[in-house]
Structure 1
Amino acid sequence: MTFNEDRGEKSAGHSAKRRRLLKLAASAGVSATVAGLPFGRSAFGAEPITLRWWSTQAAPDQLKAYKAQIAGFMATHPGVKVVFEATSDEGYPAQLAAAFAANQVPDIITHLPSYAAQTYFADGLVEPVDDVAVAVGLDKYYPNANDVFKTADGKLCATGLANTAADVMWIRRDLMQRAGVDKMPETWDELRTACKKMQGGRIYGAPLPYGLNSMTSLIMLGFIHRAGGQVFTPDLQVAVDSQATLDALDFYKSMREFCPPGATGYSWGESLTAFVSGSTATGIYGGRVLDNIATQNPGIADSVTCSTYPTISKSVPAWTYNDFPCVFIPKKAKNISSSKLFAEYLFDPAGYISELLGAPAHLLPVLKTIASDPRYTSNAIIKKYPKEVELMSAAAASGHNLGYESPAHKPNRRANEIVASNVLAEMVQRVVLNNEPPKSVVGATAKKLETLMKA
């Protein structure tokens, strides 16, 4: 397979974009040399071609899968060396901003959300990957799996690597039974009542995050939609100043009494651990919950189940956050052709299944051929929780995020910068933790969003 290595010409706005990237990196305390990540010549080794692979997903079982994928690719491409480098959900915006500004980019990036790829593509920093999707086999993907990656000019800025249902509600059936909760909560009032009944004896009701971080921002995004609102209109006008946002903040504040004291600093890891460890009766996370319980707290494994997160009322439909973990290639990667070959190789069935099962039920396949493959379906977690896996798969398939709030919305190419700014998390903290007037805080948040959209 041959890929076009034409990288195009620099756009006239690259200097301004570089300044914006440097500003983002500096605001997070990351220099243009990206401290903590190897960017010197030594990172490239002695091989003719070295591909640097960045990912935000680096749990121990996933690292084992990556090692096998790298070994397999290098065995069939002896002139290429692949080096894996981990970043994080909280750290990648500043690290990539510094990498792009310094022209020291990785060669392939995986597991970042769709809106990150859209943002970087809009800034002229990402290579189209239509040819990678064709090489993988367009007929193998689920219908519309790549729609979220379509750019204004109809190209693919990335291709989906997995799906996630990142904010489903997890609940302990044993605690429900003990507390007399006879049904899964479907509305916020029902959830509050259930949490109140189940809380006690060193067990809290929920592990909602209140920290100044991406999880708080993205959970708040979901609550706004579950109140019937939106952050932006379909044509990307700021719409956060609404009764739905006020209702969502009121709900978020009302849940504080059911969350552990440390929830004021919770992000993804702390929220996950709170439920897995048995400290909370409910959880809000993706399918990684199941594997972590199997290895860290198997005593509750038979009691956990999930549903889509409750909404303000039964008349408001469920809304699930899917970050659409993807694979994309920076335009200034050292060898575009080899990067695309490796991107295609990541979908080779044996390696792809191993990668998905590094976090079983958390990373859900985007290829229908894999979802029915016995090597995937025979996994112990997938077999034990078929109902939960099916629910998450369906919720993720119809899921959305800040870059893709609904099928009617235009792609929001500023979503990555908005999430990195923590503007929604700040709104939560000001109202919930600081007890500031919600109406004025929401108005100020709307102005900040307008400024970010114009940046």
Structure 2
Amino acid sequence: MWFKRVWMLSLAALVFGTCVAFGEIIEIVFWHHEAPAYRVAAFQQVIDAFEKEYPNIHVRQEVVPWGEAWSRTAAAIRAGTTPDFQFDIPDFNLYVYELGGIIPVTDLVEKIDTKYGYLKSQLLMYQHHGEIWGVPIWTMPMVLIYRPSMLEEAGILPPRTWEELLEAAAKLTNPPERYGIMLTAGLNLLTQELAWCFMAPSGTELFDANGNVTFNSPQTIRAVAYYKELSKYSPPGSAAWIWGEAELNFGAGRIAMMPYFGGLEKRFFEDLKSTDLAAVPMPMPSECGYARTLTYPNAVHIFKSAAQDPKRLEAVFTFIEFMMRPDMNTILTAGQEPGSFVPVTEAMLAPDSPYWDHPTIKAFLDLNRLLVREVRYGTLYGFEHGVVNLGIGEIIGENVLGEVLQRVVVGGESPEAAVAWGQKRMEELSRPVR
């Protein structure tokens, strides 16, 4: 009954366009997790533009740090104090869905898709139980970034295969001044992201199409063994690093290459006044390799509280659709974090899109063209076949991929034993969608 009621409300808002009476003010509130002041300012720029065009709708942003998002969302759902919508990532979206706090957004996604053309790979991670539960706003692909000056000095071409990457990392390593690669092996999200940059091209799948755990495979063992070998050329102590240490050391010229988001271009362009930054797709095995990488689509989910009033729901739909307009979406992507926050629609990737006119995007044009291409090949661990296992949230939360690498790189365990442990732990957390 709930879904039928929401569908009717959505239809009323989208098709019949429930009108906000002249002079009647509707205030909508959303949570996001981008705390840096320049990101907050970008959101406010979009809000100000929206309120100028829709003076009867007032929008308020509230920042909830990622570290607090899960607990505060659960508390708000229990207390009935949720905002109208919130930014999320696929595993967080599943978490809120299981709390019973959100509505399907299939109609809104289809409307935006008709208008701007979604990249289908970015919708897959939000589809389950016959509906779409998140509206993608931007995504975050990883590539192999490198310092062109260092590779040119060493006479090395950007690596395309695992074999070339290993050879390049060895040749570029000159301790303690410089190391060929940066890899981590801790119980943190960065390690899981880096793990997938090698597991995906190797053909690893956490689940099959039916949600069965398939982690313990020759492809996974191959990737873990390679990761251990490549880690020899990473700086001492880097196993425990997270994003801050990685970015500082790369920016300081201590690291020649690393799998990462493209967002360092903002630091290079604005702070270092340098364009000594480039990228290639994540290298793959020369035999039986796949052109795949990691991508993190960032979407919004709409809380049930917003659907209790058709006018409020219409206002929420209107603002979300406004965010996807190319001029506004350029602010939320290139204006917030150029290179890290990448568009998810064909309209934004078109040659005449305002996205390509942003100064930082233009300064690293080849890098940004690569990033938008890689979005089409991007996957996310546990979502290779869409949402097929609800246990992925716990698997990510426990840093199972990170522990597999830590056991091998730091603990000296064999790749076979560590992957077998990972399979067993995933099976214990597994909850296939039926």
Is TM-score (shorter-chain normalized) higher than 0.5? yes
In the alignment, the residues of structure 1 paired with residue 305 and residue 395 of structure 2 have an alpha-carbon distance, to the nearest angstrom, of 24
In the alignment, the residues of structure 2 paired with residue 5 and residue 350 of structure 1 have an alpha-carbon distance, to the nearest angstrom, of 34
How far 1:330 moved relative to its partner? 2.3
How far 1:420 moved relative to its partner? 1.4
Which secondary structure does the structure 1 equivalent of 2:181 belong to? coil
Could you tell me which residue of structure 2 aligns to residue 121 of structure 1?
97
**Does the alignment pair 1:297 with 2:272?**
yes
Could you tell me which residue of structure 2 aligns to residue 107 of structure 1?
84
In the alignment, the residues of structure 1 paired with residue 414 and residue 349 of structure 2 have an alpha-carbon distance, to the nearest angstrom, of 48
Could you tell me which residue of structure 2 aligns to residue 286 of structure 1?
261
How far 1:370 moved relative to its partner? 3.0
Q: What do the CA deviations read for 1:114-146 (whole angstroms, capped 9, x no partner)? A: 343245335533211233335545231245266
**Does the alignment pair 1:308 with 2:281?**
yes
Q: What do the CA deviations read for 1:11-51 (whole angstroms, capped 9, x no partner)? A: xxxxxxxxxxxxxxxxxxxxxxxxxxxxxxxxxxxx98654
Give 1:257's aligned amino acid: K
Matches for 1:63-212 after TM superposition, within 5 Å: 63-75=40-52, 76-78=54-56, 80-88=58-66, 91-110=68-87, 112-121=88-97, 123-136=99-112, 138-142=114-118, 144=120, 147-149=123-125, 151-165=127-141, 167-181=142-156, 183-200=157-174, 202-212=177-187
How far 1:402 moved relative to its partner? 2.1
Give 2:363's aligned amino acid: K
Compared CA separation, residues 57 and 207, structure 1 to 2 (3 A): farther
Q: Scaled by the length of structure 1, what TM-score is found?
A: 0.80
How far 1:85 moved relative to its partner? 0.9
How far 1:282 moved relative to its partner? 0.6
**Does the alignment pair 1:384 with 2:360?**
no
In the alignment, the residues of structure 2 paired with residue 371 and residue 441 of structure 1 have an alpha-carbon distance, to the nearest angstrom, of 41
Q: Do the aligned residues in 2 keep the contact of 1:65 with 1:351 (CA within 8 Å)?
A: no
Compared CA separation, residues 230 and 349, structure 1 to 2 (3 A): closer
Could you tell me which residue of structure 2 aligns to residue 249 of structure 1?
224
How far 1:429 moved relative to its partner? 1.2
In the alignment, the residues of structure 2 paired with residue 160 and residue 315 of structure 1 have an alpha-carbon distance, to the nearest angstrom, of 32
In the alignment, the residues of structure 2 paired with residue 212 and residue 357 of structure 1 have an alpha-carbon distance, to the nearest angstrom, of 30
Q: Scaled by the length of structure 2, what TM-score is found?
A: 0.83
How far 1:244 moved relative to its partner? 2.2
Could you tell me which residue of structure 2 aligns to residue 362 of structure 1?
340
Q: Do the aligned residues in 1 keep the contact of 2:361 with 2:368 (CA within 8 Å)?
A: yes
How far 1:155 moved relative to its partner? 2.0
Which secondary structure does the structure 1 equivalent of 2:208 belong to? coil
Could you tell me which residue of structure 1 aligns to residue 12 of structure 2?
none
Compared CA separation, residues 57 and 141, structure 1 to 2 (3 A): farther
Could you tell me which residue of structure 2 aligns to residue 347 of structure 1?
324
Compared CA separation, residues 226 and 51, structure 1 to 2 (3 A): same
How far 1:169 moved relative to its partner? 0.1
Aligned residue pairs total 406
Unaligned 5+ runs, structure 2: 8-23
Give 1:448's aligned amino acid: R
Which secondary structure does the structure 2 equivalent of 1:328 belong to? strand
Residue 273 of structure 1 is aligned with which of 245, 248, 268?
Answer: 248
Which secondary structure does the structure 2 equivalent of 1:63 belong to? helix
In the alignment, the residues of structure 2 paired with residue 291 and residue 145 of structure 1 have an alpha-carbon distance, to the nearest angstrom, of 26
Which secondary structure does the structure 2 equivalent of 1:80 belong to? strand
Q: What do the CA deviations read for 1:409-451 (whole angstroms, capped 9, x no partner)? A: 5544332332112111112112211223433332222121112
Matches for 1:372-451 after TM superposition, within 5 Å: 372=350, 373=352, 375-405=354-384, 408=385, 411-451=388-428
Residue 328 of structure 1 is aligned with which of 291, 297, 301?
Answer: 301
Q: Do the aligned residues in 2 keep the contact of 1:272 with 1:284 (CA within 8 Å)?
A: no
In the alignment, the residues of structure 2 paired with residue 92 and residue 255 of structure 1 have an alpha-carbon distance, to the nearest angstrom, of 34
Q: Do the aligned residues in 2 keep the contact of 1:145 with 1:160 (CA within 8 Å)?
A: no
Give 1:197's aligned amino acid: K
Compared CA separation, residues 203 and 80, structure 1 to 2 (3 A): same
Unaligned 5+ runs, structure 1: 9-46
Compared CA separation, residues 195 and 99, structure 1 to 2 (3 A): farther
In the alignment, the residues of structure 2 paired with residue 83 and residue 5 of structure 1 have an alpha-carbon distance, to the nearest angstrom, of 30
Could you tell me which residue of structure 2 aligns to residue 44 of structure 1?
none
In the alignment, the residues of structure 1 paired with residue 177 and residue 81 of structure 2 have an alpha-carbon distance, to the nearest angstrom, of 49
Q: Do the aligned residues in 1 keep the contact of 2:184 with 2:190 (CA within 8 Å)?
A: yes
In the alignment, the residues of structure 1 paired with residue 148 and residue 376 of structure 2 have an alpha-carbon distance, to the nearest angstrom, of 26
Which secondary structure does the structure 2 equivalent of 1:283 belong to? strand
Q: Do the aligned residues in 2 keep the contact of 1:52 with 1:85 (CA within 8 Å)?
A: no
How far 1:306 moved relative to its partner? 0.6
Which secondary structure does the structure 2 equivalent of 1:229 belong to? coil
In the alignment, the residues of structure 1 paired with residue 192 and residue 122 of structure 2 have an alpha-carbon distance, to the nearest angstrom, of 25
Compared CA separation, residues 374 and 441, structure 1 to 2 (3 A): closer
Q: Do the aligned residues in 1 keep the contact of 2:26 with 2:56 (CA within 8 Å)?
A: no
Could you tell me which residue of structure 2 aligns to residue 26 of structure 1?
none
Matches for 1:229-248 after TM superposition, within 5 Å: 229-248=204-223
Q: Do the aligned residues in 2 keep the contact of 1:158 with 1:326 (CA within 8 Å)?
A: yes
Which secondary structure does the structure 1 equivalent of 2:301 belong to? strand
Q: Do the aligned residues in 2 keep the contact of 1:224 with 1:245 (CA within 8 Å)?
A: yes
Which secondary structure does the structure 2 equivalent of 1:298 belong to? coil
Give 2:187's aligned amino acid: L
In the alignment, the residues of structure 1 paired with residue 79 and residue 251 of structure 2 have an alpha-carbon distance, to the nearest angstrom, of 40
In the alignment, the residues of structure 1 paired with residue 132 and residue 35 of structure 2 have an alpha-carbon distance, to the nearest angstrom, of 25
